[in-house]
């Protein structure tokens, strides 16, 4: 007995056609036209009666006839598909939508079409991930309160790259993808992370360096953390503004904000006119000492060397800064005054004008 036929006859046929295997077999013999239809029939059709079978064999255009046609087309398609393909060229099954609205499959066919599609969809999935990351980074950057002038600064475009390439290279985020174990991470990432102290004369590019480094930092961590920029004079103004006020942030709230933010850029440390005052030193100590105690990365810029800072703000603060940054991260920035391009260059005025 034909095995394909047995499947149809004994399991499906008997239940649905009312014919047993023998009768179906006899029908095949008496109606040879039915023979090529056996496979599609077994796959898809509930056979209501012998009459119906005969109608199908003649190629009727009723319900069964149409399904038979569809079955034939599908079988023809299947015959042309490569070995092992079950997708009929679609690529896979069980679609679902990515956040971007693009549909991808859950299961891919092993045929070349399925494999090609899987490659493309993998790209889309990682693109969706990348887009989310980019949005996170952008949101993180927007909340950092970086002055508009500096927001777009990039390390790769920092003018100091012309005079101190090595410094720019040190500040560039390491290729963390290569660090697949702790030792590698230690070697590649640790020297780059942590707190920094950039000091040097006016206009040399310190704030630009601090912001550009922070940008590398945000991109490196994928934006999933908090960052805040503040110049020390603005920080002090903010603290003073909380006095005698009954609404909004209290002094304690403001101090807590600077202690807790995951990356703080503290610009222009030591420029305050009344740096000798106990009040100012106390508040600065609360922020810097707090961050030191919690080991929170902080980027300082200053016109002062550590020795000068120590004289101006006291040893307590200066030594916290040294301990946070370590000698390796205390950087004397050298080079020309970037704002003073000299009178000989015709464009100097325009450049200054745009600042
Ligand atoms: N990443 C950068 N990309 C392009 N230009 C930059 C970058 N960083 C700095 N500059 C240029 O250098 C100028 C001076 O830089 P910056 O303001 O950082 O100096 P500074 O040392 O912080 O000065 P100050 O001591 O007055 O605060 C900027 O106004 C800008 O024109
Ligand atoms: Mg500056
Ligand atoms: Zn396939």
251: tokens are: 């002094």
What is the pTM assigned to this prediction?
0.66
Q: In what order do the strands lie in the sheet with 298-302?
A: 227-231, 263-269, 298-302, 196-199, 330-332
| 162-164-165 Cα angle (round to 5) | 80
Beta bridge partners of 105: 95
Ligand nearest to the CA of 118: 3
- Please state the rounded mean pLDDT for residues 192-205: 95
H or E segment and range at residue 312? helix 306-313
For residue 202, the ligand 1 atom closest to its alpha carbon is 25
- Please state the rounded mean pLDDT for residues 189-199: 93
Ligand nearest to the CA of 208: 1
- Please state the rounded mean pLDDT for residues 189-196: 92
Ligand 1 interacting residues, C-beta cut-off 6 A: 153-154, 157-159, 202-208, 212, 301, 303, 338-339, 355
Residues 6+ apart with CB under 8 A from 118: 91, 92, 105, 108
In a 3-state reduction of DSSP, which class is residue 298? strand
For residue 333, the ligand 1 atom closest to its alpha carbon is 21
Read off the pLDDT band of 198 (50, 70, 90). Answer: very high
Going from the Cα of 255 to the center of ligand 1, the distance in angstroms, rounded, reads 28
List Cα–Cα distances, 200 to 206, 212, 347, in angstroms: 7, 17, 25
Going from the Cα of 179 to the center of ligand 2, the distance in angstroms, rounded, reads 34
What angle do the packed helices 50-57 and 21-30 form, to 10 degrees? 30
Going from the Cα of 348 to the center of ligand 1, the distance in angstroms, rounded, reads 15
Q: Which domains does the chain have, with CATH numbers?
A: 6-133 (no CATH), 143-341 (3.40.50.300)
In a 3-state reduction of DSSP, which class is residue 108? strand
Most confident of 55-69, 78-92, 98-112: 78-92
> Per-residue pLDDT tens for 282-317?
999 999 999 999 999 999 999 999 999 999 999 999
**For position 301, what pLDDT does the model report?**
98
13: tokens are: 């046929």
> Per-residue pLDDT tens for 320-340?
999 999 999 999 999 888 877
Ligand nearest to the CA of 77: 3
310: tokens are: 């120590």
CA atoms within 13 A on the CB side of 28: 21
Q: How far apart are CA 271 and CA 154, in angstroms?
A: 25
Going from the Cα of 306 to the center of ligand 2, the distance in angstroms, rounded, reads 17
């Amino acid at each position: 007995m034909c095995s394909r036929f047995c499947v149809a006859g004994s399991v499906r046929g008997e239940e649905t056609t009312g014919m047993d295997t023998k009768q179906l077999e006899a029908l095949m013999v008496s109606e040879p036209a039915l023979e090529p239809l056996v496979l599609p029939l077994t796959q898809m059709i509930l056979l209501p009666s012998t009459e119906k079978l005969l109608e199908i064999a003649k190629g009727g255009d009723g319900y069964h006839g149409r399904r038979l046609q569809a079955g034939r087309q599908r079988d023809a398609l299947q015959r042309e598909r490569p070995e092992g393909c079950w997708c009929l060229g679609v690529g896979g099954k069980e679609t679902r939508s990515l956040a971007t609205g693009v549909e991808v499959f859950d299961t891919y066919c092993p045929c070349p079409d399925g494999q090609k599609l899987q490659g493309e969809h993998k790209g889309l999935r990682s693109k969706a991930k990348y887009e989310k990351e980019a949005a996170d980074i952008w949101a993180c950057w927007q909340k950092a309160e970086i002055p508009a002038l500096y927001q777009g600064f990039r390390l790769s475009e920092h003018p100091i790259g012309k005079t101190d390439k090595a410094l720019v290279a040190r500040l560039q985020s390491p290729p963390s993808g290569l660090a697949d174990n702790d030792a590698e991470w230690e070697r590649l990432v640790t020297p780059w992370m942590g707190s920094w102290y950039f000091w040097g004369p006016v206009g040399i590019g310190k704030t630009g360096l601090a912001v550009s480094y922070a940008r590398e930092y945000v991109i490196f961590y994928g934006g999933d953390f908090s960052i805040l920029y503040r110049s020390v004079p603005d920080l002090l103004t903010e603290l003073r503004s909380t006095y005698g006020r009954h609404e909004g942030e209290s002094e304690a709230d403001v101090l807590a904000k600077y202690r807790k933010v995951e990356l703080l850029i503290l610009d222009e440390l030591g420029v305050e006119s009344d740096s000798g005052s106990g009040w100012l030193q106390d508040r600065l100590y609360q922020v810097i000492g707090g961050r030191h105690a919690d080991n929170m990365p902080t980027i300082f810029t200053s016109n002062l060397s550590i020795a000068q800072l120590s004289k101006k703000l006291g040893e307590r603060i200066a030594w916290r800064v040294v301990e946070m940054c370590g000698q390796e991260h205390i950087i004397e920035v050298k080079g020309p005054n970037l704002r003073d391009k000299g009178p000989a260059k015709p464009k100097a005025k325009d450049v200054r004008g745009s600042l």
